[in-house]
C-alpha cells in the first residue's frame, strides 16, 4: 500500500483493507474489536508486520510502546490515528 500524503486521513475502512489484504487476515468487521486471544492465527509476528504496514500507509512513525497496551485491532487503529 503506498504512503498517504501527510494531510490525508487514514480511515477505518483503509485500516480494515490493510489488515485483510496486506496482512492477510480475513477478519469480519466485528473481529476488529475482539481481543487478540479470540482472533484465529493471531501472533506477535502479525503485530510487527502491522507496524511496518501502518508506517508505510500513514507515512509517519508508529509508537510501538502504545501498541503493546492494545488488546484489539480497533485499539491499535485508535492509538495510531489518534496520537
Q: Which of 79, 81, 57, 61 is nearest to 69 (CA)?
A: 79
User: How confident is the model over 37-64, as pLDDT tens digits?
Assistant: 999 889 889 999 999 999 999 888 998 8
How far from 2 is each of 10, 57, 62, 70, 82, CA to CA, in Å? 12, 6, 16, 25, 21
Cα angle 55, 8, 73; round to 5 = 45
Kindly tell me if the per-residue pLDDT of 26 is higher than 50.
yes
Amino acid at each position: 500500500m503506498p504512503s498517504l500524503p501527510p494531510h490525508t486521513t487514514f480511515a477505518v475502512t483503509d485500516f480494515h483493507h490493510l489488515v485483510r489484504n496486506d496482512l492477510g487476515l480475513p477478519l469480519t468487521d466485528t473481529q476488529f474489536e475482539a481481543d487478540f486471544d479470540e482472533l484465529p492465527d493471531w501472533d506477535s509476528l502479525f503485530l510487527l508486520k502491522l507496524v511496518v504496514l501502518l508506517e508505510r500507509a500513514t507515512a509517519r512513525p508508529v509508537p510501538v510502546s502504545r501498541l503493546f497496551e492494545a488488546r484489539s485491532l480497533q485499539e491499535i487503529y485508535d492509538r495510531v490515528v489518534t496520537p
